[in-house]
Structure 1
Amino acid sequence: MNKQSLTSTIIFALAIIIASLLLKQGIVEFKTLDRSVAVKGLAEKEVMANTVIWPINYSLAGNDLTKLIDELEAKNQAVSAFLALHGFGDEEISVSPPNVADKLAQPYAQLEKGQMRYFVMSSITVYSHEPEKVRHALTKVTQLAKQGIAISSDRYDAKVQYIFTGLNDIKPEMIQQATEKAREVAEKFATDSKSTLGKIKSARQGQFSISDRDSNSPHIKRVRVVSSVEYYLVD
């Protein structure tokens, strides 16, 4: 073998050795990067509702429809006066047309003894950005009862709805809090496994949920979000 061939052979062998070492190192690094830990971080916050919808429903029954409508209009005026007394403006109050039911409107229908023919229901809705005004007014509804206005409260469509609309204002803070909680858990896991926490491999923000804090305080809301984060682990 001449000198040139020997040199080429040596260079070729060294290239193979270097390539093998690089390949081995790449495999080791790939396996290292493949090690990860997936954790979740929870963020919760209590907020006050900033919008309220208060349906005020009441009904009357009788056999003279004209008198019933007149009585209903008088009661609507009494309710509007009650609301104005408690600080509600005209822009916060809407009065729906009366709902009239005639029991003799159906074919072959007949009234039993003592039954009233007509049933009319009125619906007034308060939509306000001041829930405390509604909460205060609710403690005074007996004033309406003394005027013969019995407000329905057991119907599903008569429940007061307290709403929080400021989610976008608190989202960044809560996402940051949830991410920090997730990292705390990941760092504890890394320490226990004698590893070092690396970069984020993937992250997913959960949906925000808003619920009543409890059944007795629907005006206080609990906002909740869970973030899922996966971190690389490095030896």
Structure 2
Amino acid sequence: MKYESFIKPAIISVAIIITALILGGAFKNRNITQDSISVVGLGTKDFESDEILWTGNYSARAKEAKDAYNMINADKDKVKSFFQSKGFKDAEFSFGGVTFEKIFRTITIEQKGEQIKQEQVFDGYIATQTVAFNSRKNPLLMKKIESVVDQTSELINSGIEFEGSRIQYTYSDLPSLKQNLIEKGTQDARERAEKIVLTANGKLGKLKDASMGVFQITGKGSIEEDSYGGNFDTYSKFKTARITVRLTYNLQ
């Protein structure tokens, strides 16, 4: 009985000590976690695109492939002359290869006024050719391309089935732009952290961790929301680029 009365208090004492050590360690680790601050900075820049790409295509239809090819070749000469008349040099635009597509029409077979079946009947070929314009760091050529886009109806009026695409605008030096945004975002995050800590009468310590958000390019003034995979607008001449930077600092 005396032995048992001695063992039980000893076990309880050891348990209390172990519990205290565990709680003390948890409290210490909690303080380590809390003795830091994470802030997100934003780097933005408005810029004007310096690259442009515009394409158009025209087609010709005939029962035989060779006839469609001859027609598209004749149209090519007209298209070339049209753009030359608008001030373009031969080196400022290029033609793609001719592609062919078989076309079919649907006929309905009826008997005694009732539809029996429908069949696809071969109806000839469509030949298509593309013409492309692009410019890099050439404002005059870019302006000339933008101007001619609204004049292609003249080709349609001359009997050429011309269809233009939307103009695409890009930027030639994205690496430098991205680097500039990272610097701005990092500076913004640092300033935010300093203001928060100063307001709380604290002191900012060493940088603990840094991470970068998704690089986004949208049209200037766009209300488009940020995409998880990143937006990359190609249809706006004037754009806004932005990136977020998250910094975590230790506190002193």
TM-score (norm 1): 0.70
Q: Match of 1:202, as an amino acid?
A: D
Instruction: State how far apart, in whole Å, the 1-side matches of 2:196 and 2:146 are.
Output: 48
Q: 1:180 to 1:86 in 2, by over 3 A?
A: farther
Task: Using the TM superposition, give the Cα deviation of residue 216 of structure 1 relative to its aligned residue in structure 2, in angstroms.
Answer: 11
How far apart, CA to CA, are the structure 2 residues paired with 1:101 and 1:36?
65
Structure 1, 81-90 or 45-54: larger mean CA deviation: 81-90
Residue pair 1:37, 1:233 contacting (<8 A) in 2 also: yes
With 214-223 and 224-233 compared, the bigger mean Cα shift is at 214-223
In structure 2, the partner of 1:95 is 95
Deviation (angstroms), 1:34? 6.5
- Asked if structure 2 preserves the Cα contact closer than 8 Å seen for 1:204 and 1:228, the reply is yes
After TM superposition, give the deviation of residue 38 of structure 1 in Å. 0.7
Q: Which residue of 2 aligns with 1:42?
A: 42
Counterpart-to-counterpart distance in 1, 2:42 and 2:64: 61
Q: Which is strand-richer, 1 or 2?
A: 2
User: Aligned AA for 2:155?
Assistant: L
Higher relative contact order (CA 8 A, sep 6+): 1
Are residues 100 and 173 of structure 1, via their aligned partners in 2, closer, same or farther at CA, if it must alter by over 3 Å? Answer: closer
Residue 32 of structure 1: how far off its partner (Å): 7.2
> 1:52-111 CA distances to partner (integer Å, 9 max, x unpaired)?
22121122222244443222112212222333344444334221221122347xxx9524
Amino acid corresponding to residue 239 of structure 2 in structure 1: K
Unmatched 5+ residue regions in structure 2? 1-27, 105-118, 223-232
Tell me the residue number matched to 1:57: 57
Once the two structures are superposed, residues 7-35 of structure 1 have per-residue CA deviations (whole angstroms, 9 ceiling, x without a partner) of xxxxxxxxxxxxxxxxxxxxx9xx67971
**1:23 aligned residue:** none
Moved over 4 A (4+): 31-34, 214-217
In 2: Cα distance, 1:109 partner to 1:48 partner: 50
- Alignment correspondent of 1:135: 146
After TM superposition, give the deviation of residue 138 of structure 1 in Å.
Answer: 0.9
- Maintained 8 Å contact 2:49/2:169: yes
On the 8 A contact 2:189/2:245 being kept in 1, the answer is yes
The aligned amino acid for 2:246 is: S
**Equivalent residue number for residue 231 of structure 1:** 249
Report whether the alignment pairs 1:220 with 2:231. Answer: no
In 1, are the aligned partners of 2:170 and 2:234 still within 8 Å (CA)? no
Distance 2:173 2:209 in 1: 28
Match of 1:186 in 2: 193
Check the 8 A contact 2:169/2:235 in 1, yes or no. Answer: no
Q: Using a 3 Å threshold, how does the CA distance of structure 1 residues 209 and 189 change in structure 2: closer, same or farther?
A: same
Contact (CA 8 Å) 2:214, 2:243: kept in 1 or not? yes
Do 1:97 and 1:122's aligned partners in 2 also have CA atoms closer than 8 Å?
Answer: yes
Identical residues among aligned pairs (%): 24
Question: Which consecutive residues of structure 1, in runs of 5 or more, have no partner in the other structure?
Answer: 1-27
Residue pairs, 1:147-158, within 5 angstroms: 147-153=158-164, 158=165
Matched positions, count: 196
Does the aligned pair in 2 maintain the 1:103–1:109 contact within 8 Å? no
TM-score (norm 2): 0.65
Matched, 1:206 2:217: no
